[in-house]
Each structure stands twice: as structure tokens, then as C-alpha cells.
């Protein structure tokens, strides 16, 4: 907890470090009531910073300093200065060693940053600034050092002792203790340091690299989870091969380890050679993990593995450059997931997520650029903008340069900067140099926050056979008050003729027509593109594949959207046409609800979805995606003032109407797929995900009919299915149904079956937290008393409180403000022991400007109550103060 007012840090103030650390030698003595950390740092004056010898200011927090030696001389109190956050010493030569010993308390560390204990094991989380809670250090990513680490602990409770790099020695010690020494020869910043000590089992495998080197692969878990590692291991090997084939990147060390821990603030962490994962991002098998969980494990394993090059071998100069590694690595893991599964479905899911959540962030009080230029607490900047929008920005470079040009650029980037800590500008420069390209205007994507709007209008000249599209771009103001200059917006597009066929595209001034789909770059505030030889009025298909993270508008009629849904050659745009049609129809229903009129669903949406449902040639996962109406959170995001009740009523009405009108088609597809599920053993692969996705969305519609045969089918699926995908869907469908007795029984059976599996219990909590039936808050409060619930475990907080406040909008936004009060109370409680989790749970309250004035007042009052609640962590302080500014 801070003692001073947290202060803002600015990118413009960046200065290279005064001193460098060449070697770091650590010894950890782990005990039950404290731990000792001895650090020997081999240091020198940074030659870039001139000749003098300024004071050496080391970062350190919550450390008890026991001794400090500079150049082999023990220092006395008079020789150094100590504050809450720094240790200052005074070197007398340009090269020297610094030795410190500190005492720390991992056993009471509830913030889960630095060295802490989780389910009896010791583990670390150092990104972004956690290493300073382990020892005094230059805790900044541009200080890179080799590390040797010795871990000493009691043998019986901690038989496994791990750190980064290769194991070089180990042996028994005194009093039932033992030790192991690890050496990491690759220079790295402290945020990539890791240590683990515990009673763990491991699953082992090997990987043969492109140069025929053998790498040992190990996944460490608690003994009872040893049967849930195979999917992660398979994913790891696929990732390693994919990175060789797609980016030419080979793994470097002789061993790669993953450790699963139960208490973890985020998904996973890419520590060099020793990735530490939230157990939810490792463990997966058919009986206990859904299809979505299997896909998440595959994606996160890949993401952390890919960081070995995009993040570790080439790292960030400072934390403002976070998207350098995160945006690029998300782009890389998305490409991997697209290749392993259905590329179109992956794109649809990514875009739906970006539009719902990143667009909301970009329009709210915490809006920031992909490369922010100031922050108070860096942990608050592991955001959708840095990750997901950052990935979109890299994706646009890929679109502009083409796959080959992009690969040339990434090769040059990795070669030029291997072993360095660099900036987003360095990344762009490599892309430019490898391609002879000029990305100077494009770079505005890194410095300008906010989601650009792109309004498109058309004009057709039948006599001249020309067709013009005019693009007008603008970008809303954001709290940083940065002036918005035009972006470079790559728009992939095509023109459809009356039969739905693509027209070969030729712009004015071009010699000949080319392909039927192409990318044009909108670079000005207003710009017109004219196509020639257009024999009839065409229908444009715009922003194919979502080629830029913008809000595009074109005045499509509902009939035109239905035409695109059927005929567009771009699968993503077929889905998006359906979404736009649904949005128009839902907004009409919202208007009817607000006007107190009876709701009437446009028959065209029913017809369009009936066509999709009966098309046997379509990928079933696509059918499932097309049947999914835009979510309430997305409808909120696109509203000027979100009417919580009208949005919920309209969407539920539409779902019920669709369920009634499409009952036959849904029932046929449900039964066919359910039969296949019964006959087929569980396989975690795209076509199986697709079949189950359609089966399960069909069931969720069918249950809205309340028919006894659907209830019977749901109960049968719940009782007899052996995979979690089918079981959990059946449970969720029951939980949202009016069948109280069946619901209660299913919940009890499920909890009894899985009471020993915390990750499955998380699902059980989430399903109930998400139920939009009345009385949501009371249900959540009752569940907080359940023995399996604890606020100390971030997964539990996310499963219950996160799901309630983030997904159960109708209950969370109850007009009496009870949901807001509940969340504020929890944030105040969490702030005291886990600031990162507290700050993240706050996000729904920061969106107060979206709501009616009564709700705005209630939400603001809760933010003010948090602000006045006492000593705030810098994490919560920053979000609350920016939200109220």
C-alpha cells in the first residue's frame, strides 16, 4: 500500500539506465514463516550515460534489508539511503559487485505479485514490476542480465525446485533440506525471472527442432491433475512447429517447462524457459473442460510460447512499449489458432470480442493509445487496447505489406534486435526497411486513442458505368485530448453484381481489371475511389475480414444485408451482414419497447436465419455463429444512452420468436448432432467443436419453447453426456429455465460430482452468476457463502463477481443501484489484499457515462465511495480517479 500520492509516469521522460547489470546470482532460502534472498549483482556504469558515477538507485518494495555489500565492503546505515521504494548506494568505480540479503514473506503475500504461495507451493509473478518485491534491483525491462538461481527448501514438502534456464547442479542440504541451481545464459529483464518450489508431478515429452536439436518438454501440476495435461502438451508441440514453419523461429534452450498454479492474477506468464500458468489455462480433458476451455488452453500455451521470440529474445525498452510484445504475440497466437481450427470462425470470435469490449474501453474514461504516453500503475495497462487492438494494428501491417512482405519484416526485426530491448518504432522501422515501405502516417495507430468511424456513401453513374465510394473518417475525442489526424485505414472490399457474383475491380486510371477483392487504403479525412466498367448498380461488401478496427457505416437496407448474407464470397462478411441485420431489427424492437408499443419482430430476420439453419453445406460452426444474436453488452456499446431494460426485453423477445418460428429446424439439427455426440468419442478438433456448438446453441433456443420433449432431451444430455461441453450447456439451459425442481437437482448433482475440482466449480459459479432471471444479486450473494468460494482466489472472483457484473447486465444494472453497491463493496475489500484484481473488477462501474441519468448518479456515487474509502492501491486509485475526472 502506498504512502504517497501515486504519481504519473511519462514516456517523454524516458532515460536509459545509469547502470547496467551483466550478471545476477540469486540464492533463495525458503521457509514457512519467511524467506531469505541473497543477490549478487555484477554491475557497471552504462557507457551511454557518460563518465561520472551518479548514485545507484535500486527498486525495492516490502523488503527487509539485512545486509548490503558494495564492492565487497559491508555498508553501514550511513553509506546508503533507504525508502519505501528504493535503496540508494554510491559506487566509486565503473565496475563493481553489489551483494544484498533481504527477508520477505511469500507466505502472507495475497497480492500474487513477487514471490508467493499458492496451494502450498512457492511461485513467482514478476511482470511488470514484481521483481522489486523479491530483491533490490534495477527493475526495468531495458536492464538485461544473465541469471543463476539457487533454490534451497525443505525436501519433503518441496521436492521440485525450478528456475529459468538449464539445471546445472543439485544436492541434499542440512535438516531435511535440499537445493538446486539453474542457469539462464540468455540475458533477460527481471520481469522474466521465475522460481517454483513444490510437490509437483510432471508430464514429459520431447520436441525435435528444425535443426534437429532435442528439447525436453515438461508440464508440472499438482499430482491429482496429472491426467489433464495432454491437451496442453499437444498444443505446445503444435505451437513450436508452427513458429518454425510460419516465422522461422526455433526454440533456444534445451528445456521448456510449464507450471500450473491455482492462484494467478492473469492467464499465464512467459518467464524464460519456465512459463507459469493459471491452472485454468493448462488443465483440460473432455470430462472437465468445455470446448471453449480447450481452445483457450491451446491459444494461451501458444501465446506464451511465442513470447520466447516476441517478448523475451526481443523485449520492450520500457512499459509504454508493452504492445510491442503483447499486440504482436496476440497477432501470432490468433494466426496459430486460425490455422489449427476454422480461420473464419476464429476471426468472427475475435472481432465480436473486440467490438464489444475493446470498443467500450476505447470510448470510456480509461481510453488510451496502443502505446500509451503516461500511466500511474502499469498493471492497469494490460488492456484490451494494448493486446487486442495492438494485434489488429499488427494485422493491418500484415494486410498492407502482404504475407511475404510481413515475413521479411519480422525476419529483419528478430535478426536486427535479438538480445535487445526495443520500441514500437523499431518494429515499424524493420517492417519499413525490409519492404521499402513508408509507414509514417500508419504509426498514428500507436499514438491516437479512440475507435475511428468510417462513414461510406456510394454513387453509381449508369451512363459512364462508373461506381464511386466515398469514405469519411473521424475519431472521437478521448481523455488524453490528443488531436486526431487521419489514420491509414486498409479497407478490403468487393462489389457484387445482381446475381451475387464478384465484379473484377478496376479503379480509374488503372490499365486492367484485377481480382474481385482488393485492399484500398483510406488515408485522408475524406476520399473517393471510383471503379470503372461497372455495368449495373453493384452492392459493396466492405471491410472484409474486418480489415481495420473501425466502426464502418453504410446505409444498407435489410434486403441488401440478406443478400450479402447469402452471396458474399467473404465468410466473415456473410456473418457480419447477419449481425448488422440483427442489430437493425433489435434496435427497432428497443424503440418499440421504449414507446410502450407491442413488440413485433421483422419476419426477414426469421427468414434469413431459417435459410442459414437449413443450409447443410455451411460449416456448422458458422451456422452457430450466425444464429447468435449480438450480445447485450454489444448493444450497449453501440447505443448513445443504453436502455438496459429495453435492450434485454428486445433481445429476449427476439430469441423467443426465433425459437418458436424455427423450432422444427432447430430440433432436427439438435437431434442429429446429439446422436453424433452420443456415438463419437470426444475429440478436441474444429469439426467436433462445430457440431457441438450448433447442437448447444440449438438447445438453448429450443428450451425457450418450454416443451416437455426439450426438457427431457436437456435432462438426458445433462445426465448421460460424458463431456463438459454438453453437460455444462445442459446445466446452463436448465438454470435459465423456469423448471425449478429440475434446476435445483441438476445444480446439486453437478456440485456433488465436481466438488473436488475447483476449475469445474468455477463453471458452476459462472453459470449461476450469468442467469438473467430476476433475483440475480441475491443468488450471487448466497453463492459467496458456498464453501467452494473464496475471494482470495482470482478465478473464483472472476467466475462469480466478474460474470455477474460483466455479463448479467439486467441484474447488475438493477435500477435501485444494489448491483453497483455490491461491486463497490467488493472492490474496497479486494483493494486491501489484491489490488490488480480489485482494479480489474472495477471496469463495469467506469462505463457510467453510457447509462441514463439515474443510473449514472448511482454509479458515480459508488466510485466516489471507493475513492473516499481509505488508503487505495495505485491500481484502484488510477481507475477511480480517471473515471471520475
Cell of 476: 472521437
CB-count burial class (<10 Å; 0-12, 13-18, 19+) for 87: buried
Give the binding range for ligand TRP (CB under 6 A) out of 221-229, 267-275, 761-769, 788-796. 267-275
Note whether 337 binds ligand TRP by CB under 6 A.
Answer: no
Cell of 115: 514471490
Give the binding range for ligand TRP (CB under 6 A) out of 37-45, 121-129, 628-636, 756-764. 121-129
Q: Which helix (H) or strand (E) holds 587?
A: helix 571-594
Give the binding range for ligand TRP (CB under 6 A) out of 264-272, 342-350, 584-592, 753-761. 264-272
How far apart, in Å, are the Cα atoms of 728 and each of 289, 652, 684, 721, 747?
9, 21, 16, 10, 10
CA dist 480 and 375 (Å) reads 11
Residue from 601, 611, 503 nearest 562 by CA: 611
CA dist 744 and 477 (Å) reads 49
Q: Which helix (H) or strand (E) holds 726?
A: helix 724-735
C-beta of 304: minimal distance to ligand TRP in Å? 6
Comparing CB distances to Zn ion, the nearer of 235 and 329 is 329
Comparing CB distances to ligand TRP, the nearer of 334 and 478 is 334
Identify the residue among 80, 382, 471, 689 touching ligand TRP (CB under 6 A). 382
Note whether 269 binds ligand TRP by CB under 6 A.
Answer: yes
Name the residue with the smallest CB distance to ligand TRP.
266
In eight-state DSSP terms, residue 799 is I
Identify the residue among 142, 243, 270, 388 touching ligand TRP (CB under 6 A). 270
Residue from 192, 275, 199, 264 nearest 232 by CA: 275
Per the rule left: phi > 0, alpha: psi between -120 and 50, beta: everything else, 870 is left
Comparing CB distances to Zn ion, the nearer of 278 and 700 is 278
Q: What are phi and psi of 708, to 5 degrees?
A: -60, -35
In eight-state DSSP terms, residue 309 is T
CA dist 192 and 271 (Å) reads 4
Binding track, positions 662-691, relative to ligand TRP; x by CB under 6 A: ------------------------------
Identify the residue among 304, 362, 426, 862 touching ligand TRP (CB under 6 A). 304
128 binds, among ligand TRP, Zn ion, none (CB under 5 to 8 A by kind): ligand TRP
Residue from 179, 36, 198, 25 nearest 105 by CA: 36
Identify the residue among 61, 109, 125, 410 touching ligand TRP (CB under 6 A). 125
Distance of CA 271 to the CA centre of its chain: 18
834 binds, among ligand TRP, Zn ion, none (CB under 5 to 8 A by kind): none
C-beta of 85: minimal distance to ligand TRP in Å? 18
CA dist 751 and 398 (Å) reads 47
C-beta of 270: minimal distance to ligand TRP in Å? 5
Q: How many residues in the chain? A: 885
Note whether 127 binds ligand TRP by CB under 6 A.
Answer: yes
> Is residue 230 a contact partner of residue 221, using CB atoms and an 8 Å limit?
no
Comparing CB distances to ligand TRP, the nearer of 266 and 562 is 266
Binding track, positions 463-502, relative to Zn ion; x by CB under 5 A: ----------------------------------------
CA dist 384 and 351 (Å) reads 12
In eight-state DSSP terms, residue 848 is G
Identify the residue among 225, 379, 657, 793 touching ligand TRP (CB under 6 A). 379
- Residues 271-330 interacting with Zn ion (rule: CB under 5 A): 326, 329
618 binds, among ligand TRP, Zn ion, none (CB under 5 to 8 A by kind): none
Give the binding range for ligand TRP (CB under 6 A) out of 139-147, 266-274, 389-397, 412-420. 266-274
Note whether 699 binds ligand TRP by CB under 6 A.
Answer: no
Note whether 128 binds ligand TRP by CB under 6 A.
Answer: yes
> Is residue 151 a contact partner of residue 177, using CB atoms and an 8 Å limit?
no
C-beta of 879: minimal distance to ligand TRP in Å? 15
263 binds, among Zn ion, ligand TRP, none (CB under 5 to 8 A by kind): none
Question: Total residues contacting ligand TRP (rule CB under 6 A)?
Answer: 13
Note whether 18 binds ligand TRP by CB under 6 A.
Answer: no
* Nearest-5° Cα angle at 544, 541 to 546: 130
CA dist 803 and 769 (Å) reads 6
Identify the residue among 149, 225, 235, 265 touching ligand TRP (CB under 6 A). 265
Cell of 393: 494494428
C-beta of 389: minimal distance to ligand TRP in Å? 15
Distance of CA 860 to the CA centre of its chain: 27
Note whether 258 binds ligand TRP by CB under 6 A.
Answer: no
Say which residue the cell 451482414 belongs to: 577
CA dist 232 and 236 (Å) reads 6
Comparing CB distances to Zn ion, the nearer of 271 and 341 is 271
Say which residue the cell 456515487 belongs to: 861
- Give the max Cα distance, the chain: 95
C-beta of 276: minimal distance to ligand TRP in Å? 8
Note whether 875 binds ligand TRP by CB under 6 A.
Answer: no
Give the binding range for ligand TRP (CB under 6 A) out of 101-109, 265-273, 331-339, 738-746. 265-273
Establish how many alpha carbons lie within 13 A of residue 475's alpha carbon, considering only the half-sphere containing its beta carbon. 27
- How many separate helices (H) and strands (E) can be counted in the chain? 30, 31
In eight-state DSSP terms, residue 314 is B
C-beta of 273: minimal distance to ligand TRP in Å? 15
- Residue 452: helix, strand or coil by DSSP? coil
C-beta of 269: minimal distance to Zn ion in Å? 8
Comparing CB distances to Zn ion, the nearer of 145 and 312 is 312
C-beta of 836: minimal distance to ligand TRP in Å? 6
Instruction: From the candidates 222, 304, 388, 492, give the one annotated as an active-site residue.
Output: 304
Binding track, positions 328-367, relative to Zn ion; x by CB under 5 A: -x--------------------------------------
In the annotation, is 74 catalytic? Answer: no
C-beta of 277: minimal distance to Zn ion in Å? 12
Binding track, positions 312-331, relative to ligand TRP; x by CB under 6 A: --------------x-----
Question: Total residues contacting Zn ion (rule CB under 5 A)?
Answer: 2
Residue from 72, 56, 61, 55 nearest 21 by CA: 56
125 binds, among ligand TRP, Zn ion, none (CB under 5 to 8 A by kind): ligand TRP
Comparing CB distances to ligand TRP, the nearer of 43 and 126 is 126
Comparing CB distances to ligand TRP, the nearer of 256 and 572 is 256
C-beta of 329: minimal distance to Zn ion in Å? 5
Give the binding range for ligand TRP (CB under 6 A) out of 102-110, 262-270, 548-556, 779-787. 262-270
CA dist 700 and 413 (Å) reads 48
Q: Looking at beta carbons, which pairs linking 110-117 to residues 24 or more positions away fall under 8 Å? A: 110/792, 110/833, 110/834, 111/833, 111/834, 111/835, 111/836, 112/263, 112/264, 112/265, 112/794, 112/834, 112/836, 113/265, 113/836, 114/62, 115/28, 115/35, 115/195, 116/263
> Is residue 75 a contact partner of residue 45, using CB atoms and an 8 Å limit?
no
- Alpha-carbon dihedral sign for residues 319, 324, 327, 329: negative
Note whether 266 binds ligand TRP by CB under 6 A.
Answer: yes
Comparing CB distances to ligand TRP, the nearer of 301 and 505 is 301
The residues that touch Zn ion, with contacts defined as CB under 5 A, are 326, 329
Residues engaged in binding ligand TRP (CB under 6 A): 125, 127-128, 265-266, 268-270, 303-304, 326, 379, 382
* Residues tagged active-site: 304
Amino acid at each position: 500500500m502506498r504512502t504517497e500520492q501515486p504519481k504519473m509516469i511519462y514516456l517523454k521522460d524516458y532515460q536509459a539506465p545509469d547502470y547496467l547489470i551483466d550478471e545476477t546470482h540469486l540464492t533463495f532460502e525458503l521457509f514457512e514463516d519467511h524467506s531469505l534472498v541473497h543477490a549478487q549483482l555484477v554491475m557497471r556504469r552504462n557507457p551511454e550515460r557518460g563518465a561520472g558515477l551518479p548514485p545507484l538507485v535500486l527498486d525495492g518494495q516490502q523488503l527487509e534489508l539485512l545486509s548490503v555489500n558494495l564492492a565487497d565492503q559491508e555498508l553501514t546505515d550511513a553509506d546508503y539511503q533507504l525508502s519505501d521504494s528504493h535503496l540508494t548506494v554510491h559506487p566509486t568505480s565503473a565496475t563493481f559487485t553489489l551483494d544484498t540479503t533481504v527477508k520477505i514473506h511469500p507466505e502472507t503475500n495475497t497480492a500474487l505479485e513477487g514471490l508467493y504461495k499458492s496451494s502450498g507451493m512457492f511461485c513467482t509473478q514478476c511482470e511488470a514490476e514484481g521483481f522489486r518485491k523479491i530483491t533490490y534491483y534495477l527493475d526495468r525491462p531495458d536492464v538485461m542480465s544473465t541469471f543463476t538461481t539457487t533454490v534451497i527448501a525443505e525436501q519433503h514438502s518441496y521436492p521440485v525446485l525450478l528456475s529459468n534456464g538449464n539445471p546445472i547442479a543439485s544436492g541434499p542440504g542440512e535438516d531435511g533440506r535440499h537445493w538446486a541451481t539453474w542457469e539462464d545464459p540468455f540475458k533477460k529483464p527481471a520481469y522474466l525471472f521465475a522460481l517454483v518450489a513444490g510437490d509437483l508431478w510432471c508430464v514429459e515429452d520431447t520436441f525435435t527442432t528444425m535443426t534437429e536439436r532435442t528439447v525436453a518438454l515438461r508440464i508440472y501440476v499438482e499430482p491429482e491433475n496429472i491426467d489433464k495435461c495432454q491437451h496442453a502438451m499437444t498444443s505446445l508441440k503444435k505451437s513450436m512447429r508452427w513458429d518454425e514453419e510460419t516465422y522461422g523461429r526455433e526454440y533456444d534452450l534445451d528445456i521448456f517447462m510449464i507450471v500450473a498454479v491455482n492462484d494467478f492474477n492473469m492467464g499465464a506468464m512467459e518467464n524464460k524457459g519456465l512459463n507459469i500458468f493459471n491452472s485454468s489455462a493448462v488443465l483440460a480433458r473432455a470430462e472437465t473442460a468445455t470446448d471453449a476451455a480447450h481452445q483457450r488452453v491451446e491459444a494461451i500455451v501458444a501465446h506464451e510460447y511465442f513470447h520466447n521470440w516476441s517478448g523475451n529474445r526481443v523485449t520492450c525498452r520500457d512499459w509504454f512499449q508493452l504492445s510491442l510484445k503483447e499486440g504482436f504475440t496476440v497477432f501470432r497466437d490468433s494466426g496459430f489458432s486460425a490455422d489449427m481450427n476454422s480461420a473464419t470462425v476464429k476471426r468472427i470470435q475475435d472481432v465480436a470480442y473486440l467490438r464489444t469490449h475493446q470498443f467500450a474501453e476505447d470510448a470510456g474514461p480509461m481510453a488510451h493509445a496502443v502505446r500509451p504516453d503516461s500511466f500511474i500503475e502499469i498493471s492497469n495497462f494490460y488492456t484490451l487496447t494494448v493486446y487486442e487492438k495492438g494485434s489488429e494494428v499488427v494485422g493491418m501491417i500484415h494486410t498492407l505489406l502482404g504475407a511475404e512482405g510481413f515475413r521479411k519484416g519480422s525476419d529483419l526485426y528478430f535478426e536486427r534486435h535479438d538480445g535487445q530491448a526495443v520500441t514500437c518504432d523499431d518494429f515499424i522501422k524493420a517492417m519499413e526497411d525490409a519492404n521499402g515501405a513508408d509507414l509514417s502516417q500508419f504509426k498514428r495507430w500507436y499514438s491516437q486513442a479512440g475507435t475511428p468511424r468510417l462513414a461510406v456513401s456510394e454513387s453509381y453513374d449508369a451512363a459512364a458505368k462508373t461506381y464511386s465510394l466515398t469514405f469519411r473518417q473521424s475519431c472521437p475525442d478521448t481523455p488524453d485530448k490528443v488531436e486526431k489526424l487521419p489514420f491509414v485505414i486498409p479497407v478490403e472490399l468487393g462489389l457484387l453484381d445482381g446475381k451475387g457474383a464478384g465484379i473484377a475491380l478496376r479503379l480509374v486510371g488503372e490499365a486492367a481489371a484485377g481480382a474481385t477483392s482488393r485492399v484500398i487504403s483510406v488515408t485522408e479525412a475524406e476520399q473517393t475511389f471510383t471503379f470503372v466498367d461497372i455495368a449495373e448498380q453493384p452492392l459493396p461488401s466492405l471491410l472484409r475480414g474486418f480489415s481495420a478496427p473501425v466502426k464502418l457505416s453504410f446505409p444498407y437496407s435489410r434486403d441488401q444485408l440478406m443478400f450479402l448474407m447469402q452471396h458474399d464470397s467473404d465468410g466473415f462478411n456473410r456473418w457480419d451482414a447477419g449481425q448488422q441485420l440483427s442489430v437493425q431489427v433489435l434496435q427497432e424492437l428497443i424503440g418499440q419497447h421504449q414507446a410502450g408499443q407491442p413488440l413485433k419482430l421483422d419476419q426477414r430476420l426469421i427468414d434469413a436465419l431459417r435459410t442459414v439453419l437449413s443450409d447443410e453445406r455451411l460449416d456448422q460452426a458458422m451456422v452457430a455463429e450466425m444464429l447468435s444474436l449480438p450480445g447485450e453488452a454489444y448493444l450497449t456499446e453501440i447505443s448513445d444512452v443504453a436502455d438496459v431494460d429495453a435492450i434485454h426485453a428486445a433481445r429476449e423477445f427476439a430469441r423467443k420468436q426465433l425459437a418458436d418460428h424455427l423450432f422444427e429446424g432447430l430440433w432436427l439439427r439438435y437431434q442429429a448432432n446429439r446422436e453424433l455426440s452420443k456415438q463419437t468419442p470426444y475429440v478436441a478438433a474444429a469439426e467436433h467443436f462445430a457440431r457441438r456448438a450448433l447442437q448447444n446453441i440449438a438447445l438453448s433456443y429450443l428450451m425457450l419453447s418450454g416443451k416437455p420433449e426439450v426438457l427431457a432431451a436437456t435432462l438426458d444430455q445433462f445426465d448421460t453426456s460424458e463431456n463438459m461441453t454438453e453437460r455444462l450447456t445442459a446445466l446452463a439451459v436448465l438454470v435459465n429455465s423456469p423448471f425449478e425442481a429440475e434446476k435445483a437437482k441438476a445444480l446439486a448433482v453437478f456440485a456433488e460430482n465436481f466438488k473436488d475440482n475447483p476449475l469445474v466449480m468455477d463453471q458452476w459459479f459462472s453459470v449461476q452468476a450469468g442467469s438473467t432471471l430476476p433475483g440475480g444479486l441475491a443468488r450471487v450473494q448466497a453463492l459467496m457463502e458456498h464453501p467452494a468460494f473464496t475471494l482470495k482466489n482470482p478465478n473464483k472472483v472472476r467466475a462469480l463477481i466478474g460474470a455477474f457484473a460483466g455479463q448479467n447486465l439486467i441484474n447488475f444494472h438493477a435500477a435501485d443501484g444494489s448491483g453497483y453497491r455490491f461491486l463497490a463493496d467488493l472492490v474496497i475489500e479486494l483493494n486491501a489484499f489484491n489490488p490488480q484484481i480489485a482494479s480489474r473488477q472495477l471496469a463495469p462501474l467506469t462505463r457510467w457515462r453510457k447509462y441514463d441519468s439515474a443510473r449514472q448518479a448511482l454509479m458515480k456515487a459508488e466510485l466516489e465511495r471507493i475513492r473516499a474509502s481509505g488508503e487505495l492501491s495505485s491500481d484502484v486509485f488510477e481507475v477511480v480517479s480517471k473515471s471520475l475526472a
